[in-house]
Amino acid sequence: MSQQAVTMADVAKAAGVSRTTVSFVLNGRSEANIPETTRLRINQAAREMGYRPNAAARALASRRSTWLGLVTEIATSPFATDVIKGAQHSAWNDGNFLLIAPSGDELGMDELAVEKLLEQQVGGLIIATTWHRQITVPENAKSVPCVLVNCFDAEGEFPSIVPDEVGGGYAAAQILAQAGHTNIGHITVTQGIPAQIGRQTGMKQALRDHGINPEDSKIVAGDGTADSGYHGTQELLSQPDPPTAIFCGNDRIAMGAYDAIKELGLQVGKDISIVGFDDQEILAPHMRPKLTTIALPFEEMGMAGVSLLNQMVEGSPIENRQITIGCPPRIRSSVAMHGRR
Residue 321 reports pLDDT greater than 50 = yes
The mean pLDDT value for 20-49 works out to 82
Q: What is the per-residue pLDDT for 63?
A: 43
Sequence spans of domains, the chain = 8-53, 67-164+298-325, 165-296
Q: Which residues, listed in sequence order, are joined to residue 329 by a DSSP beta bridge?
A: 294
Please determine whether the domains at 8-53 and 67-164+298-325 fall in the same fold group of CATH: no
Contacts of 111 (CB under 8 A, 6+ apart): 138, 139, 140
Q: CA 73, CA 58: separation in Å to the nearest integer? A: 28
DSSP string, 268-317: BTTTBEEE-SB--TTTGGGSSSPPBEEB--HHHHHHHHHHHHHHHHTT--
Calculate what percentage of the chain has a pLDDT beyond 70. Answer: 90
Model confidence pLDDT, tens digit, residues 148-179: 999 999 999 999 999 999 999 999 999 999 99
Q: CA 55, CA 121: separation in Å to the nearest integer? A: 8
Backbone angles phi, psi at 293, to 5 degrees: -150, 175
Model confidence pLDDT, tens digit, residues 258-278: 999 999 999 999 999 999 999
Contact 336, 273 (CB under 8 A): yes
The pTM of the full predicted model, rounded to 2 decimals, is 0.80
Three-state SS at 203 = helix
Residue 226 reports pLDDT greater than 80 = yes
CATH class name, domain 67-164+298-325: alpha beta
CA dihedral of residues 307, 313, 314, 320 (deg, nearest 10): 60
Instruction: Give the fold, CATH level 3, of 8-53.
Output: 434 Repressor (Amino-terminal Domain) (1.10.260)
Residue 91 reports pLDDT greater than 80 = yes
Residue 88 reports pLDDT greater than 80 = yes
CATH number of 165-296: 3.40.50.2300
- Strands of the chain (E only): list them: 67-72, 97-102, 124-135, 146-153, 160-163, 184-187, 219-220, 245-248, 273-275, 293-294, 322-325, 329-330
Count of beta carbons in the 10 Å neighbourhood of residue 265: 7
Contact 144, 118 (CB under 8 A): yes
Contact 188, 221 (CB under 8 A): yes
Confidence of residue 34 (pLDDT cuts 50, 70, 90): confident
Residue 141 reports pLDDT greater than 50 = yes
Q: What is the per-residue pLDDT for 9?
A: 84
The mean pLDDT value for 121-129 works out to 92
The mean pLDDT value for 62-72 works out to 72
| Lowest mean per-residue pLDDT among 110-124, 182-196, 282-296 | 110-124
Q: What is the per-residue pLDDT for 319?
A: 83
CA dihedral of residues 170, 176, 181, 184 (deg, nearest 10): -60
The mean pLDDT value for 207-235 works out to 97
